Structure 1
């Protein structure tokens, strides 16, 4: 495909086909910056011999029209199901609806006493005390178990804290968040205790055996809340190494 100048006849105003030059419009422009040989090469390779790409008018014979229509119907149905599916609530909506808040009528110490007994059985199993043969644990063997344990239902007591008013607070853990323990006290009060710079104490009693005189003293543990600043599901798979705590 080539382009050519057309001159106008001064009499009729129509283009004069007899005086139309054969020189390409791009050739005159290229001659301003390149030599004649370079102009001929660029004009031949970039203009005259340049392929003209056309859009195909017929479908690809390798594509099955029936399969294509079926695939499109499935995609539309999938998109429709996805649009009808309710979206999960955001964190702001959950706080507005108070989903994770414990109602006032359920903040009773007696409600969570059976949960505490279940938690004691759970702790005896993970510490290997359920068979009654083992009467002690060491820090190397029980440390990782205590770190990864679940403390919902534990009866904890604050023994040390930077906030003096929290020392002596005792209750059953009803919610274990990333930075706090929420406990219900014997006075049926819900208290939120930060984990940071706080030392907690809890006991794991031995199971009562029939025909055995005397009662063995429970095992007493103390944990540093700063080392438990993780969500309970995340803490279950976390590997914790012993190290020096500068806050002590």
Structure 2
């Protein structure tokens, strides 16, 4: 077998010659070192690679931000368009809201300290006014005693929706009324 003379100044050939016979060292140097492809990575990426890497990092950061962002509250227009405030006619029954009224009575007894202390004291604006103003009236049984519209006076029912200036109530006849 003829082999091309191996360069004697190569470090790999020198090391192989120390461990093997000269013919074996030359053969292994030719097959394993000289003919083996050497894969090199560029030492510095090109401008296009830098741009794509920065873009990829920016997109990952944006994705992380969007994933961990709290959802924005719905606007009033979106709430109205989604039907969030609509009450289905078949569910507006006075009997259904009697349970809500019982819960509301317990809530008010707790707010006004009537249930805890066991006292049946008088509730006055001076003693409990701030609590009454900030209380929730969903489930309260109300009666309209004074109104500019005479047809509304005397209407009784349970509050289904309490907004800033309006109570929506369900009467005993299962009618939904909006009272100012």
The TM-score with structure 2 as length reference comes to: 0.61
* Contact 1:128–1:134 (Cα < 8 Å) also in 2: no
Is 1:77 matched with 2:60? yes
Q: Who is 2:157 aligned against? A: 171
Deviation by residue 1:29-88 (Cα, 9 ceiling, x = unmatched): xxxxxxxxxxxxxxxxxxxxxxxxxxxxxxxxxxxxxxxx79x72x42242356688876
1:92 matched to 2:77? The reply is yes
Aligned-partner SS, 2:78: helix
Deviation of 1:166 after TM superposition, in Å, equals: 0.4
Q: From the superposition, tell whether residues 79 and 190 of structure 1 become closer, same or farther in structure 2 (CA, over 3 Å).
A: same
Question: 1:47-196, aligned counterparts within 5 Å?
Answer: 73=57, 75-80=58-63, 89-130=74-115, 131-194=117-180
CA 1:133–1:179 in 2, change beyond 3 Å: closer, same or farther?
closer
Matched residue SS, 1:160: coil
> CA shift at 1:149, angstroms?
0.6
Q: Mark the runs of 5 or more structure 1 residues left unpaired by the alignment.
A: 1-68, 195-248
In the alignment, structure 2 segments of 5+ residues that lack a partner are 1-52
- Residues 111/80 of structure 1: CA separation in 2 closer, same or farther (3 Å cut): same
Query: 1:100: how far off?
Result: 1.4
Name whichever structure is richer in helix by fraction: 2
Cα distance between partner residues in 1 of 2:140 and 2:100: 8
Separation in structure 2 between the aligned mates of residue 192 and residue 137 of structure 1, nearest angstrom: 27
| Aligned residues: CA RMSD | 2.9
Helix, strand or coil at the partner of 2:122: coil
Q: How does 1:203-242 map to 2 (within 5 A)?
A: none
CA distance in 2, matches of 1:105, 1:82: 43
What TM-score comes out, normalization by structure 1 length?
0.45
Question: For the residues of structure 1 that align with 2:164 and 2:124, how far apart are their CA atoms?
Answer: 27
Q: Distance in 2 between matches of 1:140 and 1:102?
A: 36
State how many pairs are aligned. Answer: 126
Q: Secondary structure at the match of 2:157?
A: strand
